[in-house]
Structure 1
Amino acid sequence: MGNLMDKEPPPPVVLVPPLFDFPPLAARTRMLESSYNMLFGKLALKCLFDDYFERAEHFSTMIMLKPIDDPLVDLVATVSGPLERRPDEYPVGNAYFRWQSDVDDPHTFIDLFVSNSDPVLQMRSCAYYPKYGFGAFGIFPLLLKNRVSSEDYGVMGLRYGSGNLSFGATVMPFSSKDELPKTAWLVSKMGRLTAGVQYEPQYGGKDGAKYKNLMNWSCAVGYEVGSSSPLCPSFNFALELAKSSQFIASFYQHVVVQRRVKNPLEENEVVGITNYIDFGFELQTRVDDAKTTSNKTSDSTFQIGASWQANKNFLLKGKVGPLSSSVALAFKSWWKPSFTFGISATRDHTFGRTGYGFGLRIEDLREASYQRADPNFVMLTPNKEHLANGIVWKIGKRPMLQADVNAGKFDSIPRELRPLGKIL
């Protein structure tokens, strides 16, 4: 009887919700892209400035499903179009059917793309061998309404990737010799610094040598602090000179904070919750003497964006630019499959009009629960609650969490969070 009366209260708990979208869907096909186009914070900035910002007076629907009996295949289908019927615009429907060789290896796969616009049918394939670091890939349009260029007959590529180096090239098999290669890149990482160069022969050169034309070259350098895991803060700053004509400066910061919970619907032992805050800035300006128009915004533009995930269900985003500003609110239910509904408002500064867009996503591709594997935090239980036995909570101060695991023990981490360390 005394044991029942002296029962200890449950330990304090800090909720650690999963991110809305991790990893980004574009990361599933990154082996088809140049590493130069994926690094320097470009993927994170694209997600910050594009995701859940629907076009004004438009809607979008995305369905991402996989069968229970075969986790190696999945289907992603999208439908988008104007909210009101327009004679010059009609809904666009796309679908990807994907097969990959291993659940834990998303880099070796084949997918088929179908659409009611060009290309009507397209196949993409990639084979990557992490043990050796080499990979081969190809993109082949099978059905097109009109083939007008060499790229319409397919693109093939080879790549090498290690923890500190990535290089590769793509070619069009049916192109002429002066069009080879289509792209070539070299990226190297030295500590926190990443530098890269990319060659895209689009302009002619003296003596017919396109590689001598600086307009065909781009270079970038980036400084990165932190981890790629969304459960850890990170910072990325990059400078790029694109095609020797456009200068791009950008930064992206991911912040992980804890705040007190003042929700009467939560249990008494829930004392805090983890929030995710993201900031981003991008400036683009021309550095050549080319005269575009009298409007200076055509020569230089910028955008600033931020997002705040208050809990596992609500996400608030906003971005500001010289031509327009947008705000978006998304609500997500973590059922199986999950449903995400978003609404965005866009203010056109040129015409002084405000338009609204709507989006709906249905998904069961990505795992929702995270587990701690960082020496600065303790492990999560399977129900996504953070057992903070070592928590020190004081009014007006952030909680300090003691370590419960050693660095390097990543066996129980979800696949999306495992630090590969072998692919730049």
Structure 2
Amino acid sequence: MGNMVLKSIISDPAPPPPMVLVPPLFDFPPLAARTRMVESSYNMLFGKLALKCLFDDYFEEARHFSTRIMLKPIDDPHVDLIATVDGPLNQKPDEKLGGSAQFRWQSDVLDPHTFADISVSNSEPTLVVRSCAYYPKLGFGAFGIFPILLKQRKSPEDYGIMGLRYGSSNLSVGATFVPFPASADELPKNAWLVSKMGRLTAGVQYEPAFGSKDGARYKNLANWSCAVGYGLGSDSPLSPSFNFGLELAKNSQVKNPFEPKEVVGITNYIDFGFELLTRIDDTQQANNIDDSSFQIGASWQANKNFLIKGKVGPLSSSIALAFKSWWKPSFTLSVSAVRDRSKRETALGLGIQVENIREGIYQRADPNFVMLTPSKEHLAEGIQWKIGERPLFESDVTSGNFNGVPKELRPLNKML
């Protein structure tokens, strides 16, 4: 009687295929984009939001610190809370810490344009309520900003500001006004018109500050601002872009060594900007550095954890380093150094931020899309990768297919 021998053949799993990591951006979308509907579109376009992120974010004030906590409950993503505390590192008896808190309710989790929030702080105004209602199908919206608690109301703006707007993919027009103006000449408080034609964007804004009677406010060019911008590329951060903006304002003034060997590359985010401010109405003050100034800034996010920024101006230079840990909630620590060349002094600033409002873990690649780097991930699900362990996204974004891209990285083409 023969013996039967059963042999089992165990083969080693195939090595992980090469892949390119696309890490999440440190802060995207910008927090200012959540409240864009209570602002003039003129003040948000022409690269102004990008310039603010480049030249302001993570550059803490010299010898000061700032902390910010941004939390969203898991059970109700329609609401969130932002609390901030800031002040000098070496506090003097006559100085005090600044603190504020904002509670926000958003109608649609994916659409921030209809919301209401309430803000409290230990400075003026103490309590402010903001609200906005926008109807995407019609393109119309209304909004209001109302200071509830103030020690003293000196101007009509202290009683609140209301506004109406219309927005589409190629046009934005709107106006703001105070509900209790001192005179009819103060209407409107602000009005804007911005239009986009292909890659060209042009806009004009009216803000009365000079003249008072007989239509003098409208005739005075100092009350008007105009701008023109030209942009190449998509407004998704995954696509390289080039933007140029020129404004006449009414008040002129790589391979990552820390990743596993199967990671053949990682997307880096590089931002570079140049801003020039100069007067055109008074040539005698052209040599005054306050009236004619410039600054150059650059930012490099090497991976999902490290960001370095720097900017150079005529009087000072600054550099900032930020580290972000993508826990839930995420934790960000930033340190900045400011060099004042006139005083020949260098000072440090410190920033701390805790947040779970903006999600940073992106979906894995969908095998139905064209991959930038060939991948067999869909054939080895649960073996080669663990969900959520490493942010990964590869898609044919260069062809304009953003259907599988997380909402934070999709182009905002529904509204100008």
The two structures have a TM-score, normalised by structure 1, of 0.87
2:145 is the counterpart of 1:139: yes
- Matched length: 395
**Amino acid of the residue matched to residue 53 of structure 1?**
F
1:85 shift after superposition: 1.5
- CA distance in 1 between counterparts of 2:156 and 2:81 reads 29
Counterpart of 1:252 in structure 2 is none
Counterpart of 1:85 in structure 2 is 91
Counterpart of 1:55 in structure 2 is 61
- Contact 1:114 1:120 survives alignment (8 Å): yes
2:110 is the counterpart of 1:117: no
**Amino acid of the residue matched to residue 224 of structure 1?**
G
Counterpart of 1:273 in structure 2 is 266
Which 5+ residue runs of structure 2 have no aligned equivalent?
Answer: 1-6, 378-384
**Amino acid of the residue matched to residue 104 of structure 2?**
R
Does the residue aligned with 2:35 lie in a helix, a strand or coil? Answer: helix
2:254 is the counterpart of 1:262: no
Does the residue aligned with 1:260 lie in a helix, a strand or coil? Answer: coil
Counterpart of 1:332 in structure 2 is 324
**Amino acid of the residue matched to residue 196 of structure 2?**
K
- Contact 2:362 2:393 survives alignment (8 Å): no
**Amino acid of the residue matched to residue 318 of structure 1?**
G
- Contact 1:206 1:213 survives alignment (8 Å): no
Counterpart of 1:251 in structure 2 is none
Please show how residues 3-82 of structure 1 align to structure 2 within 5 Å: 4-5=10-11, 7-82=13-88
- CA distance in 2 between counterparts of 1:228 and 1:114 reads 34
Counterpart of 1:366 in structure 2 is 358
Counterpart of 1:346 in structure 2 is 338
Counterpart of 1:169 in structure 2 is 175
- CA distance in 1 between counterparts of 2:110 and 2:392 reads 26
- CA distance in 2 between counterparts of 1:282 and 1:25 reads 22
2:188 is the counterpart of 1:181: yes
- CA distance in 2 between counterparts of 1:18 and 1:3 reads 42
2:211 is the counterpart of 1:204: yes
- CA distance in 2 between counterparts of 1:130 and 1:408 reads 22
Which 5+ residue runs of structure 1 have no aligned equivalent?
Answer: 248-258, 389-401
- CA distance in 2 between counterparts of 1:49 and 1:80 reads 19
- CA distance in 1 between counterparts of 2:398 and 2:261 reads 26
Q: Deviations over 1:344-388 (max 9, x none)?
A: 000111111111000000000001023579978469985445487
Counterpart of 1:253 in structure 2 is none
Counterpart of 1:392 in structure 2 is none
76 and 310 in structure 1: CA distance in 2 versus 1, 3 angstrom threshold: same
Percent of paired sites with the same residue: 68
1:7 shift after superposition: 4.6
1:268 shift after superposition: 2.5
- CA distance in 2 between counterparts of 1:403 and 1:31 reads 31
Does the residue aligned with 1:36 lie in a helix, a strand or coil? Answer: helix
- CA distance in 2 between counterparts of 1:184 and 1:127 reads 19
2:147 is the counterpart of 1:148: no
**Amino acid of the residue matched to residue 178 of structure 1?**
D
- CA distance in 1 between counterparts of 2:31 and 2:393 reads 31
- CA distance in 2 between counterparts of 1:72 and 1:140 reads 22
149 and 16 in structure 1: CA distance in 2 versus 1, 3 angstrom threshold: same
- CA distance in 1 between counterparts of 2:316 and 2:103 reads 35
- CA distance in 1 between counterparts of 2:134 and 2:306 reads 37
2:240 is the counterpart of 1:233: yes
- Contact 2:238 2:397 survives alignment (8 Å): no
Q: Deviations over 1:225-245 (max 9, x none)?
A: 1112111111110000011x6
45 and 376 in structure 1: CA distance in 2 versus 1, 3 angstrom threshold: farther
2:205 is the counterpart of 1:191: no
1:332 shift after superposition: 0.5
**Amino acid of the residue matched to residue 413 of structure 2?**
G
Does the residue aligned with 1:178 lie in a helix, a strand or coil? Answer: helix
Does the residue aligned with 1:187 lie in a helix, a strand or coil? Answer: strand
1:272 shift after superposition: 1.3
- Contact 1:375 1:404 survives alignment (8 Å): no
Counterpart of 1:305 in structure 2 is 297
- CA distance in 1 between counterparts of 2:204 and 2:370 reads 35
6 and 87 in structure 1: CA distance in 2 versus 1, 3 angstrom threshold: closer
- CA distance in 2 between counterparts of 1:137 and 1:195 reads 24
Does the residue aligned with 2:278 lie in a helix, a strand or coil? Answer: strand
- CA distance in 1 between counterparts of 2:306 and 2:14 reads 34
- CA distance in 2 between counterparts of 1:262 and 1:58 reads 34
1:420 shift after superposition: 3.9
Q: Deviations over 1:69-124 (max 9, x none)?
A: 11111000111100111244321101110001111221100000100000100000
Counterpart of 2:313 in structure 1 is 321
- Contact 1:302 1:322 survives alignment (8 Å): yes
- Contact 1:206 1:212 survives alignment (8 Å): no
Greater C-alpha Rg: 2
1:66 shift after superposition: 1.1
1:260 shift after superposition: 2.3
1:15 shift after superposition: 1.6
1:187 shift after superposition: 0.2
- CA distance in 1 between counterparts of 2:245 and 2:412 reads 23
Q: Deviations over 1:149-195 (max 9, x none)?
A: 00000000000000000000000011120100000000000000000
Counterpart of 2:405 in structure 1 is 413
The two structures have a TM-score, normalised by structure 2, of 0.89
Counterpart of 1:94 in structure 2 is 100
Q: Deviations over 1:256-312 (max 9, x none)?
A: xxx22333xx322112111111101100000002755x9620220001000111111
